[in-house]
Amino acid sequence: MVTERQVRDVIARVRENFDANALGKHVDFDEAGLDSLDQASILLSLQEETGIEFPEDASSLNTIDAILNYASAQQTPPGHDRG
């Protein structure tokens, strides 16, 4: 389980002097000033904390919401949400 709090804490740790709490869930990281290296750091930290593996091409995981949705889908048991 990855929580929004975890993602925001990781962002704050990765990027000093960045107000992670003020970042909108749907705001694109690039637009918020988090560059590609920050984003790589964020995903690696989350991977190490939670065990979730993110795909090599993670270009779509560019908002807090996108990360939460991806993590949630990964942790859903196969067939669980298919009725």
Binding region for another protein (CB under 8 A): 33, 35-37, 39-41, 43-44, 56, 58
In the bound state with another protein, the residue whose beta carbon lies nearer, of 20 and 43, is: 43
In the bound state with another protein, the residue whose beta carbon lies nearer, of 24 and 55, is: 55
Concatenated DSSP letters of 35-72: -HHHHHHHHHHHHHHH-PPPPS--TT--SHHHHHHHHH
Rounded to whole angstroms, how far apart are CA atoms 83 and 65?
A: 24
**Whole-number minimum distance, CB 41 to another protein, in Å?**
7
Contacts (Cβ under 8 Å, ≥6 apart) of 53? 47, 74
In the bound state with another protein, the residue whose beta carbon lies nearer, of 43 and 64, is: 43
**Whole-number minimum distance, CB 3 to another protein, in Å?**
22
- Would you state the structure tokens that stand for residue 52, as one six-digit string? 């979730």
**Whole-number minimum distance, CB 5 to another protein, in Å?**
22
